[in-house]
Amino acid sequence: MNIFVDKKELVEIIVYVWGDPKIEASHLESEAPKDSQKVSFFCQKPNHADSVKIMKLAKLGQGEADPIVFQDSIVRTLVKSVNDGEESRVLSQSQIDEINPSITRAVATGLLELVSI
């Protein structure tokens, strides 16, 4: 067992996206309609420094934790790239800002099922 996190090792989070004009998303295939689009997000595994950064930003353990800020901190800190089936690309912070909020919430929820923060 390796106790150190390899910053190059990525976790794939599959998000199912549907709806137009109101976009909805889930990391659970069972919640998605059969005609949903599958989008893969690749996230860095969090190390201790990432965990501390995310917890501080969300004020976890400091009284008034904000779940929206917690999810935002996870996405901004750990999401590195996306593949929407047509193209794969590395994401900048400004591109992350432009992702639909339903999708980013699904990414954060899916990632929390696979890693510890």
For 34-77, write each residue's pLDDT tens digit. Answer: 999 999 999 999 999 999 999 888 876 667 767 888 999 999 99
Domain of 97 in residue numbering reads as 10-112
Could you tell me if residue 61 is inside a domain?
yes
Tokens (6 digits) for 91: 């994401």
Number of domain units in the chain: 1
Could you tell me if residue 5 is inside a domain?
no
- In sequence order, the 6+-apart residues with CB closer than 8 A to the CB of 56 are none
Using DSSP, state whether 42 is helix, strand or coil.
Answer: strand
User: What's the pTM value of the predicted model, to 2 decimals?
Assistant: 0.90
Between CA 101 and CA 3 the distance in angstroms is: 33
What is the distance of C-alpha 36 from the center of its chain? 18
Could you tell me if residue 64 is inside a domain?
yes
Could you tell me if residue 65 is inside a domain?
yes
